[in-house]
Amino acid sequence: MLFLLHESASGLGLLEVVEADDVASGVEEAMLAQSDFSRFARMVRLKAFAPFSSAEHALENANAVSEGAITDYLREFVEANLPSAGHKSASKKSKSAAEAATAVQLGVHDQKTAQALHDAIGASTGVAINADARSAELLRGVRCHFERLIDGLKAGDLAKAQLGLAHSYSRSKVKFNVNRSETGILNSIALLDTLDKDINTFAMRVREWYSWHFPELVKIAPDNIQYARLVRVVRNKADLSEESLPAIKAVVMDEAVAQDILDAARSSMGTDISEVDLVNIDGFSGRVVELAEYRTSLQAYLASKMGAVAPNLGALLGDTVAARLIAHAGSLTNLAKYPASTVQILGAEKALFRALKTKGKTPKYGLLYHSTFIGRAKLKNKGRISRYLANKCSIASRVDCFSDHATDVFGRMLRDQVDERLKFYDTGAAPRKNTDVMQAAIAEAEAVADAMDVGAAAADDEDDDDDDTDGDEPMAATPVAAAAPAAATPASKKKKDKSAKKAAKAAKADADVKTPKSSKKDKKRSREEEGGKSAKKSSSKKSKKAAVVA
């Protein structure tokens, strides 16, 4: 006996398979039977249906299904409507124990839900729960005709429920995405790489185009962005004069270079150019300059995002290299899960698998090659410093991922350790021990965290005081009220209480400082006296209670 569990957007449905020979064979007749509702209705009939009470209820069930879990509502529905394994097989003694154990089967959509249901109710009820091909074929037909199998559903109700549930589910996934703060980093570093390629391509096009008119400018201004700005200033070389020197100097920031440009324009061997060509070259150069300026602002945005998401990794490697590591791993959480050996060759996967296939030398570094530490190391030490740097990157990423306060203390300490290791490879100077460095970093990080907590608490107190004073202000100040003495507001009382507490603490501290330490005998005597007083108090309380009872 086979049952099917179908989770729709409107509710849960339990269906019983009456005859499924065509479906079990998997031939074309099965597909024809599913496409024809009259034939499919003779094969499958509805046993129970439990609608969702609200959209939130449907969303909760959809989230559980996506994660391979089951809700209490689903478990209770299956337990209440699904017969146990020995329901029909107990009356037939001819069946074996194995047949009785598998007499009742439940087919579901995916394997995760089947495993979760088996752990919840399969052991107690003896029902075999699976997600095989036969159940998938039958559930495909149920999805097609589910709206017609339910008597209470009207045409279009299921489609509306599916649309609303899809919107709610997508909104919840976007809202509660743990990696949403890293989306800006992933997109900005990808856009930076694209902008670098585009700016270089466009700048080379500007050079090639304008060199027909002024070829000597290429050697005088080697920088691409500076060349594009000079094209907009110079335009037609025949119009250059001494009056153009201040504008050229503002671009190149050097008076001698500006004079060289003017001299080269007077003796240039380039051809003349029309005004239409100059307009197009000027417009294209302006676009290149705008892209370069936007790239600068995007780099600043990336630095701010890295300071908020991964400050330690950014302080260790630099914002660009750290962002590339996070983007290649997919998220900061994934990067924190990687071991140091994986971080070391992250970005060199092709070279690694090629070396493993050909039994050659494996790569020593991947994206870490762009770090300044690898460039500063000697050739024989590049592999060693790469391995050491990967260890520190793994520590920094885990601190950024799991710490409560965003500080770059550990990143700066780890960077100093890498510098000391470079000096050790070059000069032999012994670096500090890792335990000492980490203890200093932890102490400094705790101090920074305490300062941040104190600042947040002070800001909250100021906000509370402002709210209290705003709520206690009178609607209109009359002359009599102005002449009368001011009443004590709750805010002023709070301030007085705070000042009184501070004064009491200060007085107590002064008293502790001024009074000498008592001897052990005096302390013991005072404790005995306090114990006697407390005993007297307790006995007096008991006598009072006895008197009240009497």
SS3 readout for 341-373:
HHHHCCCCHHHHHHHHHHCCCCCCCCHHHHCHH
pLDDT reported for residue 513: 37
DSSP-derived secondary structure for 408-424: -HHHHHHHHHHHHHHHH
Residue 210 CB neighbours (<10 A): 27
User: What count of residues does the chain have?
Assistant: 550
Contact 413, 441 (CB under 8 A): yes
CATH of domain 2-175: 3.30.420.220
Give one word for 457, left, alpha or beta, with left for phi > 0 and alpha for psi -120 to 50. Answer: alpha
Q: Which residue has the tokens 């780890």?
A: 414
Question: Which residues, other chains included, contact 173 with Cβ-Cβ below 8 Å and sequence gap of 6+?
Answer: none
> How far lies 125's CA from each of 62, 113, 121, in Å?
25, 17, 6
Measured CA to CA, the distance from residue 176 to residue 323 in angstroms comes to: 22
Measured CA to CA, the distance from residue 528 to residue 509 in angstroms comes to: 25
Measured CA to CA, the distance from residue 60 to residue 56 in angstroms comes to: 6
Contact 313, 368 (CB under 8 A): no
Domain 190-300 indexed as CATH 3.40.720.10: no
pLDDT reported for residue 88: 45
Amino acid at 461: D
pLDDT reported for residue 467: 56
User: What confidence tens digit (pLDDT) does each residue in 111-155 have?
Assistant: 888 888 888 886 677 788 888 888 888 888 888 888 888 877 777
**104 exposed, middle or buried (CB, 10 Å; 0-12, 13-18, 19+)?**
buried
SS3 state of residue 214: coil
Q: What order do you get walking across the sheet with 105-107 strand by strand?
A: 44-51, 11-17, 2-7, 105-107, 128-130
Tokens of 317: 């490697």
105-107 and 128-130 beta bridge pairing: parallel
Give the pLDDT of the chain (550 residues) as one tens digit per residue: 788 888 888 888 888 888 655 444 554 555 666 777 788 888 888 888 888 888 888 888 888 888 888 888 988 888 888 886 554 444 444 444 444 445 788 888 888 888 888 888 866 777 888 888 888 888 888 888 888 888 777 777 888 888 888 888 888 776 665 566 788 899 999 999 999 999 999 999 999 999 999 999 999 999 999 999 999 999 999 999 999 999 999 999 999 999 999 999 999 999 999 999 999 999 999 999 999 999 999 999 999 999 989 999 999 999 999 999 999 999 999 999 999 999 999 999 999 999 999 999 999 999 999 999 999 999 999 999 999 999 999 999 999 998 888 899 999 999 999 999 999 999 999 999 999 999 999 999 898 888 877 776 776 666 666 555 554 444 434 333 333 333 343 344 444 454 555 555 544 444 443 334 444 444 445 555 555 544 444 444 444 343 333 3
Contact 376, 425 (CB under 8 A): no
DSSP helix, strand, coil percent of the chain (3-state; round to 5): 70, 5, 25
CATH of domain 310-447: 1.10.246.90
Q: What is the pTM of this model?
A: 0.61
> What's 234's DSSP letter?
H
256-280: buried (b, 16+ CB within 10 Å) or exposed (e) per residue?
ebbebbbebbeebebeebeeeeeee
Question: Which residues, other chains included, contact 254 with Cβ-Cβ below 8 Å and sequence gap of 6+?
Answer: none
Measured CA to CA, the distance from residue 229 to residue 239 in angstroms comes to: 17
> How far lies 271's CA from each of 207, 218, 344, 519, in Å?
15, 15, 54, 103
Let me know if the fold of 2-175 is the same as that of 190-300: no
176-205: buried (b, 16+ CB within 10 Å) or exposed (e) per residue?
eeeeeebebbbebbeebeebeeebeebbee
Give one word for 272, left, alpha or beta, with left for phi > 0 and alpha for psi -120 to 50. Answer: beta
SS (H, E, C) 83-150: CCCCCCCCCCCCCCHHHHHCCCEEECCCHHHHHHHHHHHHHHHCCEEECCHHHHHHHHHHHHHHHHHC
Question: Which residues, other chains included, contact 422 with Cβ-Cβ below 8 Å and sequence gap of 6+?
Answer: 373, 376, 377, 381, 385
List the domain boundaries for the chain: 2-175, 190-300, 310-447
> How far lies 270's CA from each of 141, 234, 391, 520, in Å?
76, 14, 57, 102
pLDDT reported for residue 175: 65
Question: Which residues, other chains included, contact 295 with Cβ-Cβ below 8 Å and sequence gap of 6+?
Answer: 192, 195, 196, 199
SS3 state of residue 2: strand
Give one word for 156, left, alpha or beta, with left for phi > 0 and alpha for psi -120 to 50. Answer: left
Residue 309's nearest CA partner among 377, 238, 384, 402 is 402
Contact 235, 213 (CB under 8 A): no
> How far lies 484's CA from each of 469, 472, 477, 478, 512, in Å?
19, 16, 11, 10, 43
